[in-house]
Amino acid sequence: MKNKKITRKITQGMYVLTTNGGGCIVDAVSQISAGDNPLISVAVMKTNYTNELMKKNEKFALSVLGKNEDGSLIQTFGMQSMRKTNKFENIEIEEIEGIPIIKNSLGYMLCEIIDSIDNDTHTLFIGRLIEADVLKEEEAMSYGYYQEHKDELIKITTEKGHTAWVCTICGYVYYGETLEEDFKCPKCGVGRELFEKSTK
Ligand SMILES: Cc1cc2nc3c(=O)[nH]c(=O)nc-3n(C[C@H](O)[C@H](O)[C@H](O)COP(=O)(O)O)c2cc1C
């Protein structure tokens, strides 16, 4: 493959996916049908705790991140697991039909899960929109914008005197001179082509 980074040009947004008991940052969201209650799909990595929860639950919500988000929601929901920390501890939420919605978002879509398809790395969950609201009329953050501004949004510190490889998706830091060809991020599962080298 000559340069997989072109896939970043697929226009995607930034969302906090929530379900009963947890949630995580996602960009892999699409509206896949029309009408008053369209179908919305979201691809969730099999290694994410949120995947386990989605398989047990009947509903999920997507809270839309605005361009003014300062990076804290991305760090809280996208760079740590609910397996180890309570992500909701300092976050203002409102429960809609038992699902937490992020108050500091542009709005939410609440869906009822109707189907799911497992592939090698992700499960594609398909939900029918049953409730939605706009909370703020501001510009949404795109995944492309996040990629271009992630150094300002996310402060990743690496130890001095060590070669570090930083995952450009989730911020995981690997220390070592080289990354094996089949290296996969232990946190978010992407391959080594999405790691950037940092030497201090
Ligand atoms: C910018 C960004 C985009 C992400 N997109 C997705 C995504 O589309 N699907 C997904 O499953 N994880 C995605 N992640 C990774 C999860 O948010 C992350 O692995 C999270 O820590 C999982 O938490 P959990 O174990 O509590 O579910 C993304 C992370 C970031 C920072």
**Which domains, and CATH codes, for the chain?**
4-144 (2.30.110.10), 156-199 (2.20.28.10)
* Closest alpha carbon to 12 in 24, 31, 25, 29: 29
For position 183, what pLDDT does the model report?
92
Average pLDDT (130-155) is 91
Which letter does DSSP use for residue 9 in this model? G
Q: Which residues contact 169 (CB under 8 A, 6 or more apart)?
A: 185, 188, 190, 194
From the CA of 82, how far away is ligand 1's center (Å)?
11
Nearest CA to ligand 1 atom 6: 26
Q: Whose CA is nearest to atom 11 of ligand 1?
A: 44
This prediction's pTM: 0.85
Among 159, 161, 160, residue whose Cα is nearest residue 173 = 159
- Please tell me if the CB atom of residue 13 comes closer than 6 angstroms to any atom of ligand 1: no
Q: Residue 48 — pLDDT band, cuts 50, 70, 90?
A: very high
